[in-house]
Chain A
Amino acid sequence: EDKVVQSPLSLVVHEGDTVTLNCSYEVTNFRSLLWYKQEKKAPTFLFMLTSSGIEKKSGRLSSILDKKELFSILNITATQTGDSAVYLCAVVDYGGSQGNLIFGKGTKLSVKP
């Protein structure tokens, strides 16, 4: 059965710390991996990764994909309280179930001042 596993499930850090969130996956026909940030309501899109080894960056956030080892990481440097959110990982799987998109349970990040 396809699955996407995120770790840790929750994390508490202080402002200024650097965090690394993990997402591993097992799917039948991988197409891409997506990261979302969810604060109070709708998840908002962060990154889409399709190729191994190419880092995507947006400000203090960056992400990379390893298609050989089947995982991705999301890095946040110099964390701020506004980074507190649930970070969701999802994998697009050609021919898979759930509309070809499998979500992990998320990592809840809390950044303390």
Chain B
Amino acid sequence: DTGVSQNPRHKITKRGQNVTFRCDPISEHNRLYWYRQTLGQGPEFLTYFQNEAQLEKSRLLSDRFSAERPKGSFSTLEIQRTEQGDSAMYLCASSRDLEKLFFGSGTQLSVL
């Protein structure tokens, strides 16, 4: 499978716990994006990387959120001290430069 891969597919956690999601982009893609999506809404931008550099972060990305892409390949998104409002689908997407984005299947987070 050469598409964008996200793990885990589902995550249920208790409020206050930390969670980490992983995204493996398409191998030759230099851009990697993280989005959050809630029911009935379009994807909300969180952050993006060009190679290993994190070039932009949304105001939505509070200090409890951190993302890395250490070698310009896979990326992780960590949420510390989760809150119920963090419950959402977290989507990763990758692209080569400003060409079309390819999305992963997402990680559905439920915070109890």
Q: Is B25 in contact with chain A by the CB < 8 A criterion? A: no
Q: Which of B41, B42, B45 contacts A99 (CB 8 A)?
A: B45
Q: Are A103 and B43 in contact (CB under 8 A)?
A: yes
Q: Are A45 and B100 in contact (CB under 8 A)?
A: yes
A contact patch SS: strand
Q: Are A48 and B106 in contact (CB under 8 A)?
A: no
Q: Is B102 in contact with chain A by the CB < 8 A criterion? A: yes
Q: Are B105 and A42 in contact (CB under 8 A)?
A: yes
Q: Is A100 in contact with chain B by the CB < 8 A criterion? A: yes
Given A31-B98, A103-B42, A106-B42, residue A98 in contact with residue B106 (CB < 8 A): no
Is the interface on chain A under 10, 10 to 19, 20 to 34, or 35 or more residues? 20 to 34
- Minimum distance in angstroms from A74 CB to a CB of chain B: 15
- Provide the residues of chain A in CB contact with B35, threshold 8 Å: 103
- Minimum distance in angstroms from B14 CB to a CB of chain A: 25
- Minimum distance in angstroms from B89 CB to a CB of chain A: 8
Which residues A59-75 have CB closer than 8 A to chain B?
A: none
Q: Is A92 in contact with chain B by the CB < 8 A criterion? A: yes
In the complex formed, the residue of A with least CB distance to B56 is A99
- Minimum distance in angstroms from A12 CB to a CB of chain B: 15
In the complex formed, the residue of B with least CB distance to A97 is B56
Given A41-B106, A42-B105, residue A99 in contact with residue B31 (CB < 8 A): yes
Q: Is B58 in contact with chain A by the CB < 8 A criterion? A: yes
Q: Are A105 and B100 in contact (CB under 8 A)?
A: no
Q: Is B48 in contact with chain A by the CB < 8 A criterion? A: yes
- Provide the residues of chain B in CB contact with A36, threshold 8 Å: 103
**Given A36-B103, A42-B106, A43-B103, 6 additional A-B pairs, CB 8 A:** A41-B89, A48-B99, A48-B100, A97-B56, A99-B45, A105-B41
